[in-house]
Structure 1
Amino acid sequence: MTTAIGTVGYMDPKLMKNDKVEFNRRTDVYSFGIVLLDIACGKKPREEILRSSRTGAQFVKNIADAKLTGDFNMTQMERVVLLGLRCSHPDAKQRPLMEDAMKYLEDDKELPAITQREGHEQEQGAYATISSDKQTLMPPRARSFS
């Protein structure tokens, strides 16, 4: 049996199945997403982000690391936060592959929309925002915020 060694909160919660550790490419993507959110927000923000009902620029300003005192590129911060949310999605099949995540950061590539799988209830909070608002997945400079 493989032993999982890591920090709780950074490891995919569904890593353990039937008392066995099942590593795969998507479990690494989950951890990458949590690290992105930690960097952008200056804390372990996952639960706070998921409870937030705000969208757009105000959402990003509210969760950005307070030590930045608002001195950051809004487009870049939004892309990091959105990618962090996508990478840490509870459903591994909804997470991008690492190569797609990197293209999103480097080349302004769009991520495909999160889709609700039949028989699964949609997540609330930020995930619902991302999946229900197609504009949220467009490069930030291509959208306008109210």
Structure 2
Amino acid sequence: MQQMLGPTRYAYTDITAITNHFRDKLGQGGYGSVFKGVLSPGNVHVAVKMLEGNSNCNGEDFISEVATIGRIHHVNVVRLMGFCPEEMRQALVYEYMPRGSLDKYIFSAKKSFCWDKLMEIALGIARGIHYLHQGCDMQILHFDIKPHNILLDSNFVPKLADFGLAKLYPRDNSFVPSRALRGTIGYIAPEMISRSFGVISSKSDVYSFGMLLLEMAGGRRNVDPNAAHSSQAYYPSWVYDRLTQQEWGEISVHVVDMHELERKLCIVGLWCIQMRSQDRPTMGEVIEMLEGCVEGLEMPSRPLFCDEGHTHTEDTYHLSSELTEISEEDMSEKVQVMVV
């Protein structure tokens, strides 16, 4: 019945009761604070996101948008269960993900997942993004795919989160207006910052997913200024060199130690982060590559950031991917940074 009716509309008094007066705070995100709550009857655990007053989501547009998104059901997308549309007290009620976000596992000093499990998680994320792009009546572009926005259920099944306020577009639209943009430095596609790299489209999500894949494979952030060797500071560049060394038959202890699934994640990730959007695969093609044999994967062209002479750690990628965001109005060749 809940799936047929869509998300439940709550009053602010209901939200305070569900969260027990906002007693258990789970975290802080780009749109506001998140609190743990319980729905009765049934004692169903939920995560309640209270939107900040400047979220620019108000009135009928907010209600229409969340009603549409609330009817989306996919195993790899966090379900929106309810909302509160009251002015300055807007809230979104999501299913609760007990394992938290992916970042705390892949960036842990201790290896949390075996390669098979990592591949399973990567495929789940890819299927969730593909569903948002192609499986709905309206195309949903996430624009902020990163480890922090991938939540895990009790069985470590990955689910896309924080897509709830992403703009909705008809699937036949090949690009979107620049005023709708958002994203996180380190994952944001080049065309989101400068149109000289191409139009903004679903391929912008593909780029972000590629950066996520590389971090999953490397077990580290793509930019690490404190790396033991300067050549390792930017992981996508370093791993490209490792893979091409192997292709040329050069013997390297790093290549010998590279797991087959690690190699697959890296090659697919490098395809996804090609600088020109037209050179990137679609999410459907990404899924096919992840499901196929690594022997059938060709190496992509050397991405621009890997060119010799580029000091990648001194450009915008040097900014912390957790602490910076591009604003919706920022399309004048400069990035406006704000703490999330």
TM-score, length-scaled by structure 1? 0.58
| SS in structure 2 of the partner of residue 93 of structure 1 | helix
Q: Give the structure with higher Rg (CA).
A: 2
Q: Which has the higher helix share?
A: 1
Change (3 A) 1:114 1:49: closer
In structure 1, which of residues 33, 46, 50 is the aligned counterpart of residue 237 of structure 2?
50
Once the two structures are TM-superposed, the CA of residue 8 in structure 1 deviates from its matched residue by 0.8
Q: How far apart, in 2, do the equivalents of 1:24 and 1:82 lie?
A: 22
8 Å contact 2:237–2:305 — kept in the other structure? no
Q: How far apart, in 1, do the equivalents of 2:284 and 2:182 lie?
A: 24
In structure 2, which of residues 182, 187, 190 is the aligned counterpart of residue 5 of structure 1?
182
In structure 1, which of residues 102, 105, 112 is the aligned counterpart of residue 287 of structure 2?
102
In structure 1, which of residues 68, 87, 90 is the aligned counterpart of residue 275 of structure 2?
90
Runs of at least 5 residues in structure 2 that lack an aligned partner in the other structure: 1-177, 224-233, 247-251, 309-340
Q: How far apart, in 1, do the equivalents of 2:260 and 2:299 lie?
A: 19
Q: Which has the higher strand share?
A: 2
Give the aligned length.
Answer: 108
Q: Cα RMSD over matched residues?
A: 3.3
Change (3 A) 1:94 1:111: farther
Which one-letter code corresponds to 2:179 in the other structure? T
Q: How far apart, in 2, do the equivalents of 1:115 and 1:14 lie?
A: 18
Runs of at least 5 residues in structure 1 that lack an aligned partner in the other structure: 65-73, 126-146
Q: How far apart, in 2, do the equivalents of 1:91 and 1:28 lie?
A: 13
Residue-by-residue CA offset, 1:78-126 (whole Å, 9 max, x unaligned): 000111111011122221111111101113374566469xxxx89537x
8 Å contact 1:96–1:111 — kept in the other structure? no
8 Å contact 1:60–1:77 — kept in the other structure? no
Q: How far apart, in 1, do the equivalents of 2:184 and 2:235 lie?
A: 19
8 Å contact 1:33–1:87 — kept in the other structure? yes
8 Å contact 1:10–1:35 — kept in the other structure? yes
Once the two structures are TM-superposed, the CA of residue 9 in structure 1 deviates from its matched residue by 0.9
Once the two structures are TM-superposed, the CA of residue 48 in structure 1 deviates from its matched residue by 3.1
8 Å contact 1:100–1:111 — kept in the other structure? no
In structure 2, which of residues 183, 192, 210 is the aligned counterpart of residue 33 of structure 1?
210
Which one-letter code corresponds to 2:307 in the other structure? Q
Change (3 A) 1:51 1:86: same
Once the two structures are TM-superposed, the CA of residue 14 in structure 1 deviates from its matched residue by 2.0
Change (3 A) 1:44 1:10: same
Q: How far apart, in 1, do the equivalents of 2:237 and 2:212 lie?
A: 16
Alignment of 1:14 with 2:197, yes or no, is: no
Q: How far apart, in 2, do the equivalents of 1:94 and 1:38 lie?
A: 21
Residue-by-residue CA offset, 1:55-86 (whole Å, 9 max, x unaligned): 3372485xx7xxxxxxxxx1111000111111
Q: How far apart, in 2, do the equivalents of 1:37 and 1:48 lie?
A: 8
8 Å contact 1:60–1:81 — kept in the other structure? no
Q: How far apart, in 1, do the equivalents of 2:183 and 2:269 lie?
A: 19
Higher RCO (CA 8 Å, separation ≥ 6 residues): 1
Change (3 A) 1:42 1:98: same
Q: Trace 1:42-81 onto structure 2 (pairs within 5 A).
A: 42-45=219-222, 47-51=234-238, 53-54=241-242, 55-56=245-246, 58-59=254-255, 61=257, 74-81=259-266
Q: How far apart, in 2, do the equivalents of 1:60 and 1:103 lie?
A: 26
